Amino acid sequence: MERNRLTHIDRDGNAIMVDVSEKKETTRQATASGRITLQPETFNAVREGAIKKGNVLGTAQVAGIMGTKRTGELIPMCHPLFLEKSTVTFVEHEETSEIEVICTAKVTGKTGVEMEALTGVTVALLTIYDMCKGMDKEMTIHSVMLLEKTGGKSGHYQRKTKE
């Protein structure tokens, strides 16, 4: 493969941010999800608001939204975006003691928001871990994935299966 075919590497092998100046602005939206598995006692403590550090899901929700807004600072080649929408929601899976985080990010711009949605999910999951680590050292963060994206040159993508 030729070096100049890689979008984030120039002909001399140097890292670059992709030039999007000639791209058309379109409305772009992405949704990602991920899960954290907790011990049943920890899962119930989160649901009951009994974690000593406070409201776990409320804090994780704010952290996830903040994460979407800071993606351009965290991921080296991401363009900083002025997000128009960022949401973080949770689905509690009692049968497996898992909390699923779902994040959606939206922008009208020249580049996609997949990384923002994935970052929002990851930051929310890490926040849950941080707030519960005093009670549960066995937590596992897993299955972080892009579920859907719309807009841009590549168009609509929807994941066929959720792991």
Q: Is 156 annotated as a binding residue?
A: no
Q: Is 22 annotated as a binding residue?
A: no
130 is catalytic: yes
Q: Which residue has the tokens 């804090």?
A: 59
Within 8 A by CB and 6+ apart from 64, the residues are 86, 88, 101, 103, 120, 121, 123, 124, 127
Token digits for 102? 């779902």
Q: Is 1 annotated as a binding residue?
A: no
CA 59 to chain centre: 15
DSSP code of residue 80: P
Residue 86: CB atoms within 10 A of its CB come to 20
Residue in 12, 19, 130, 136 annotated catalytic:
130
Side-chain half-sphere CA neighbours of 75 within 13 A: 22
| Dist CA 49 CA 56 (whole Å) | 8
Q: Is 79 annotated as a binding residue?
A: yes
| Dist CA 61 CA 2 (whole Å) | 42
Active-site positions read 130
Return binding residues for substrate: 77-79, 115-116
Enumerate the known binding-site residues: 77-79, 115-116
